[in-house]
Structure 1
Amino acid sequence: MKAPRRESAVQLARRQAAHLLRNILHGDTTRSANASIKTLIYQPSIRNKKATMALVCQTLKYLPVIKEVLENAEVLKQKSKMHHVEDFYVATYELLFGKEFEATKDIEDFVLARKSAIRAALARLMVKKKVSRAEELLPAADCNFGPRVRYVRVNSLKIEVDKALEMLRETLLVEVDDLVPGLLTLPADIDLHTHSLVLNGSLILQGKASCLPALALAPEADWVVLDACAAPGNKTVQLAALMQGRGQVLACELNEKRIKRLYETVDVAGASNVKVMHQDFLKLDVNDPVLSQVKAILLDPSCSGSGTVYRRLDHLLPSSANSSKEPGGVDAQRIQKLANFQKTALRFALSFPVVERVVYSTCSVHQQENEDVVSAVLDFAHDNGFRLGHPIPQWQQRGLPVFEGATNLLRVKPSEEMDGFFIALFERNSSVTVSSDDLLLRKYNQENDEHYIITSAPVNVGHFVVLPVVGSQKCKHSIVFIVCTLTDLVGLYLDYISKKAYGLGRILTLMRWLYGTLPLDSASYLNRSIMADKEPQCV
C-alpha cells in the first residue's frame, strides 16, 4: 500500500486559503465575524502564512470578478455538492490571475478542464466594461491594498531603543519614527510574530495611530493613571513605559476573554506598575481610596472600528463595498448605540475627583463617534472645570469643523500606512483645581441650567469654598451648598451657626446676599435659579 503523498506548499496554501475564505465570507454575510482576516491567518494552526495570506487577499480582491465569470461560464452549476464554492474561487483566481496554475486535486482538474469557458467569460466581461486589462475591472480603492510599512514599538521597560535597533539591523531594514518615541518602521512583508524580541516582550507590534492616545495623555511618572477599556493592553504597557515603570497604571477590562489577553500582554511586557482590574469601568467607585487618586484617564471605548479596515483588510470584504461608500460602512443604528455608550463613558471619566487629563480616543472615522460625542459632553466638561487641550501640536490633521474649538481635536485618516484614529484631550483648568476626593458636580436640569455641588465637607475650589449648608426636607438625600470667598467665609459661617438658620428661606436669603459679591467667572458654581423662593429638585 502506497503511503499518501506529502502535501506540497502550493496545495497547503490553496487548501488553507479556501478554508479561511469560507469562515471569512460566512462571518461577513451573517455579521458574526469575531476576528479580522489578519488574525485568522496568523493563527498558530495556519502554516505557510505568507503564501496563504497572499492567496486569501488576492481572491477577495478579485472576488466580484470571479463570481461573475463563474456564473457566465456556468461552472458552479456543474460542481459536485461535496465541494465548497470557496475552493472554486481560489482555483479560478489562480487560473486567471496567478503566475501559473497546475492542478493538484480534483477541484482544480475540474476548473482546468473548463479553462477555455472561464477565460472566454472574462474576455466578454472586459469587452462589456470597455477595459483592456483585468485589473481595470476592480474598484480604484482595491487596486493597491494592504500596509506599506510595518510598525513596531520598542518596549523601554525591557530594552533600550539603541540596543533593539542594533539587533534588528543585523538582518532587517529598520527606520526610526520621527514622532512616537521608540517606534520603528520595517518593510510591510516582514513577519515579526515569531521574532525573539517580540516573544520576550522587548518589541510590541503596535501601529503608529494606536500609539498616539498615550502620547497625547502624557502622564507624569508618579501619577495614578487609569486605562478605562484596556484590552488587549498595548496602550496600557505603553503608558507604563512612558511613566518609566513608576507610579501606577490601573487597567480596567470587563470582557472575560479579552482580560486574559490583557494579563498576557502586561506579563510579557514586564509592566510591574500595572494593576489589572476585572471590572466594569462604568461601575467603578470614584471614591475608592485608590481610584480617587487617579490623575489621568485613557478612555478608548468600544467603537465601530471603521478606521482599521486597511489593517484588518476589511475593505476587501463584500460588505465593505455594499454597505457604505466610506471604508468599513456599518449599520447606523449600531453607531448610534455605540455613541450613546461613548458619551456615558466620557462623562463618567470626567467625574473622577482629581483627574487632570482625560484622553478620549476611537479607531472610528465616523463623526457620530468622534466630534459629536465630544460636542455632547462639552457643557458637562466645562461645568467640571475642563477645557479641550491641543494634543500633539505638530500633527496637522485636526477635527472636523462642526463646533467651535474642534481644531483642538486630532484625526488620523485611514490609509495603507496608518489606521484611522480620533483623539480628544480634556485638561482641567488650573484655576478650578478641586482638592477634595469626593467632589461631584451634577447637572440635573439642562433646560433650566440648574446645578448642585454635592460633597461631604467644605472643600477648596480655586479661591472659593464650597460649604455644606443644609439638606432639603423634600429631598432628604441631597444637600444645598453656598459658595463664598475665603474672606467672607468666617463671618457668614458664624452668622449661620449663631442663628441656627436651618430654614430654607434663611439659606436662600444668604445666597441672595452672597451672589452679588462673587465675580461672574466663579458664579457658575452658584445657580441663579436657586435664588428663587422654591424648593430645590432632588439630584
Structure 2
Amino acid sequence: MALYLKAAEVLDKVERKEGALKTLVYESKFQNIKQLYALVCETQKFSSVLQDIITSTKLLKQTKLRMSLAKVLVYDFMIGQGLKCGGSWKAMMVKHRPRLQAALARLKVKKKVSSNQDLLPAYIQQASETQLPRYVRVNTLKTTVEDVIDYFKREGFSYQGRATRLTDLHSLAGNTFLCDLHIPDVLVFPHKKDFHDHFLYQAGHVILQDKASCLPAYLLNPPPGALVLDACAAPGNKTSHLAAIMRNKGKLFAFDLDAKRLSNMSTLLLRAGVTCQQLAHQDFLQIDPESPQYSGVEYILLDPSCSGSGMVWLHDSSPAPPEEEKNRLQALAAFQQRCLNHALRFPRLQRVVYSTCSIHKQENEEVVTACLKDNQGYRLVSLLPSWPERGLPPLTQCLRASTSKTLTHGFFVALLERQVPGAEDDSQLELPTTAECPKSVSGSVMEVVPVSTLTKKKKRSKKKQS
C-alpha cells in the first residue's frame, strides 16, 4: 500500500508541474526507487487513458478514491504487472474489474486500436522515441567545471572536450561526455545516465537541469553585486544558477505563491550553497516597484506559469476541447503579459529575461510584442546567433528550443533591455564570459571548493559508517 500512496503523491505533483518526474521520485526517499519510478512513469504516460476509464466508470464516486491514487491502482491492475498489494484495495479493484475491462475495450474500439500502447496520445508515442541527452549543470558556487570533469574522469568517464555541433550531443554513448557548445558550465552525457544517486548531485555540486532551462539565467547574466529578482522562482534551479553567476555577491529576491514549493526551494538552495537569496511567499504582481526595498532592482528573471506544452512527459493529462484550450491559453497569456508589464515598471531595471516552457505563440511572441508596444523604452536583444532555432518572425532576436532542433525540452526565451537615450543602437548581446569549457583538466579557475577535497570527505564518511 505504501508504494501506491507514494506513487499517487508523486504523480499528483508531476501533473501539477511541481518538478521533473525523476527528481520528484528521488526526493521522495522511497525505499525502492526503481519500482516507484517505473510505476509513476508508466502511469503518467497512460494518464489520459486512465482518466477516460475512471471517468466513464464513475470509479471515484463508487470508491471515494482520489484521482491520482485511482490512476496508479487502475494502471497496475489493468495495464501493468498486477497489483502488488492485497487487502481492501485489491478487493476493490477485483469488484470493479468487469466495468474497468469493458471501459478499456470500448476505448480501443473507439480509437480503432488493438493494443494498450496504441492508446497512448501521439505526443507521448513521439516522446518515447525522443532520447534527450542528460544535461548536468556544474554548480560553480561549490566547485569548478575543471574539477567536476576530473572527478568524472577518475570514475571511468571519458571526456571528449567541447562539443562543436549538436550532432556531437546526439552521438554520445557509453561513458563518454562533453562540455556543451553553448553554455560552458553544462556537461552533456548519454541520455540513459542517471545521477540522482551520485555523490556530486547529493552534495549540491552539480544540478540536474535541462539545457533550455539554463538559458534564462545564463543570458540574463547579472554581475556580482547586482540586485536581482526571480519573479516566479520555485522549484529553484534557475535561482541557484543566478546565484552562481553572481558568485553569491549582491542580493537575489525570489518570490513564489506556493508555500510548500517555496519550502522545498529553500532546501534546494541550501544544498547548492546559495547565501545571497531573500525568499518571500508573495505574489510578484503585488510587489511595489517603487518601494525602497525593490526600487534598486536591476535584473529580473520572469518565468511565469504557462501551459507546459514544451515539457516532455508534462503535457496535460487529458487534452481539452479546442474552445476550452483556446480560453485557457488566452487566460495564461493575459497573466503572463501582466507579469511582464509589471516587471518593466521597476525604475532602475536594466534587463529582464522572459521565458516559458511553452511552444505556443500566444504565450511567447505575442506576449512580448504586446509588452514592447506598451513599453517604448525597451528593446529586444538578439540572443546567441549560433542558436539553431529562433523566435517566430519578426521576433527572431528571441530563442526557441525543441526536442528535434536543439535536443532539449520545448522552451522560449526573450531578453528585453532598457534603451539609453542617445546611445548607439546595438542590440547584439555580449555573451557571458563567466566560464570557458576546458580542453583539458588543469585545475581551478575560481576561488571555490574543489571537488578533490570532497573525495577525502566521502572516504572519511565511509570509515565512520563502518
Other structure's SS at 2:234 match: coil
Q: Secondary structure in 2 aligned to 1:241?
A: helix
Letter in 1 for 2:146: D
Change (3 A) 1:379 1:176: same
CA–CA separation in structure 1 for the residues paired with 2:261 and 2:105:
49
Rounded to whole Å, the distance in 1 between the matches of 2:259 and 2:241 is 22
Is the alpha carbon distance of 1:34 and 1:240 closer, same or farther for their aligned partners in structure 2, counting shifts above 3 Å? closer
Matched residue, 2:355: 361
1:90 corresponds to which of 76, 79, 85: 76
Q: 1:159 aligns with which of 143, 153, 159?
A: 143
Please tell me the residue identity of whatever aligns with 2:400: R
Q: Which residue of 2 aligns with 1:323?
A: 320
Which residue does the alignment assign to 1:221? 224
The one of 142, 150, 174 aligned to 2:124 = 142
Which structure has the larger Rg over C-alpha atoms? 1
State whether residues 151 and 185 of structure 1, in contact with CA within 8 Å, keep that contact through their aligned partners in structure 2. Answer: yes
Q: Mark the CA change 1:365 to 1:17 in structure 2 (over 3 Å): closer, same or farther.
A: farther
Q: The residue matched to 1:323 in structure 2 has which SS?
A: coil
Q: Give the Cα–Cα distance (whole angstroms) in 2 for the partners of residues 280 and 345 of structure 1.
A: 10
| Structure 2 CA distance for partners of 1:432 and 1:341, relative to 1, 3 Å | farther
Distance 1:197 1:234 in 2: 16
- In structure 2, do the counterparts of structure 1 residues 52 and 16 end up closer, same or farther at CA, with 3 Å as the change threshold? farther
- Is 1:398–2:386 an aligned residue pair? no
- Secondary structure of 1:391's partner? coil
Letter in 2 for 1:340: A
Cross-structure match for 1:196: 199
Residues 27, 238 of structure 1: CA spacing in aligned structure 2 closer, same or farther, 3 A cutoff?
closer
Measure the CA separation in 1 of the matches of 2:361 and 2:416.
18
SS of aligned partner of 1:336: helix
CA separation in 1, counterparts of 2:194 and 2:216? 25
| Structure 1 residues 381 and 39: alpha-carbon distance in aligned structure 2, compared to 1, 3 A threshold | same
- Structure 1 unmatched runs, 5+: 1-14, 434-539
Conservation of the 8 A alpha-carbon contact between 1:307 and 1:419: yes
Verify the 8 A CA contact 2:231 2:255 in the aligned structure 1: yes
Deviation track 1:465-502 (CA, whole Å, cap 9, x = no partner) reads xxxxxxxxxxxxxxxxxxxxxxxxxxxxxxxxxxxxxx
TM-score computed with the length of structure 1 as normaliser: 0.59
One-letter code aligned to 2:337: K
Distance 2:324 2:202 in 1: 35
Task: Choose the corresponding residue for 2:36, options 44, 49, 52.
Answer: 52
Contact 1:24 1:33 in 2 (8 A): no
Larger RCO (CA under 8 A, 6+ residues apart):
2
Q: CA 1:242–1:136 in structure 2 vs 1: closer, same or farther (change >3 Å)?
A: same
What are the Cα deviations for residues 357-378 of structure 1, in whole angstroms up to 9, with x where unaligned?
1111122222222222112211
CA contact 2:365–2:391 (8 Å) conserved in 1: yes
Question: Which string of whole-angstrom CA distances, capped at 9 and with x for unpartnered residues, describes residues 121-144 of structure 1?
Answer: 999999998878765554443335
- The residue that corresponds to 2:346 in the other structure is 352
Aligned residues: 394
Is 2:408 the partner of 1:422? no
Q: Residues 434-459 of structure 1: CA distance to partner in whole angstroms, max 9, x if unpaired?
A: xxxxxxxxxxxxxxxxxxxxxxxxxx
| Amino acid in the other structure paired with 2:25 | I
Distance 1:32 1:238 in 2: 23
Alignment gaps of 5+ in structure 2:
158-174, 424-466
One-letter amino acid matched to 2:395: A
Once the two structures are superposed, residues 165-190 of structure 1 have per-residue CA deviations (whole angstroms, 9 ceiling, x without a partner) of 22234155333221112112334444
Q: Secondary structure at the match of 2:391?
A: coil
TM-score by length of 2: 0.68
Are the aligned partners of 2:139 and 2:244 in contact in 1 as well (CA < 8 Å)?
A: yes
TM-superposed deviation, 1:50: 2.0
Are 2:306 and 2:356, in contact at CA under 8 Å, matched by a contact in 1? yes
Match of residue 255, structure 2, among 245, 248, 252: 252
In the TM superposition, residue 423 of structure 1 has moved relative to its aligned partner by 1.4
Could you list the per-position Cα deviations for residues 299-329 of structure 1 after superposition, in whole angstroms to 9, with x for gaps in the alignment? 1222232322x1xx234x641xx3268xxx9
Find the aligned partners of 2:120 and 2:53 in 1 and give their Cα distance.
14
Report the residue type matching 1:390 in the other structure: S
Secondary structure of 1:430 counterpart: coil
Residues 1:42 and 2:45 are matched in the alignment: no
Q: Give a deviation string over 1:79-138, Cα, whole Å, max 9, x none.
A: 9999978545314434xxx6xx899868989999xx9xx99x999999998878765554
Q: What does 1:518-537 align with in structure 2 at a 5 Å threshold?
A: none
16 and 56 in structure 1: CA distance in 2 versus 1, 3 angstrom threshold:
farther
In structure 2, how many angstroms separate the alpha carbons of the residues matched to 1:209 and 1:65? Answer: 30
Which range moved further: 181-190 or 141-150? 141-150
Structure 1 Cα separation of the partners of residues 47 and 251 of structure 2:
49
2:210·2:409 contact (CA, 8 Å) conserved in 1?
Answer: yes
Distance 1:20 1:357, change over 3 A: same
Residues 59 and 93 of structure 1 are in contact (CA less than 8 Å); yes or no, is this contact kept in structure 2? no
The separation in 1 between residues aligned to 2:187 and 2:249, in whole angstroms, is: 24
Relative to 1, partners in 2 of residues 1:20 and 1:396: Cα closer, same or farther, differing over 3 Å? same
Using the alignment, how far apart are the partners of 1:302 and 1:130 within structure 2?
36
Give identity over the alignment, percent: 40
Q: Distance in 1 between matches of 2:11 and 2:246?
A: 43
Aligned-partner Cα distance in 1 for 2:109–2:289: 67
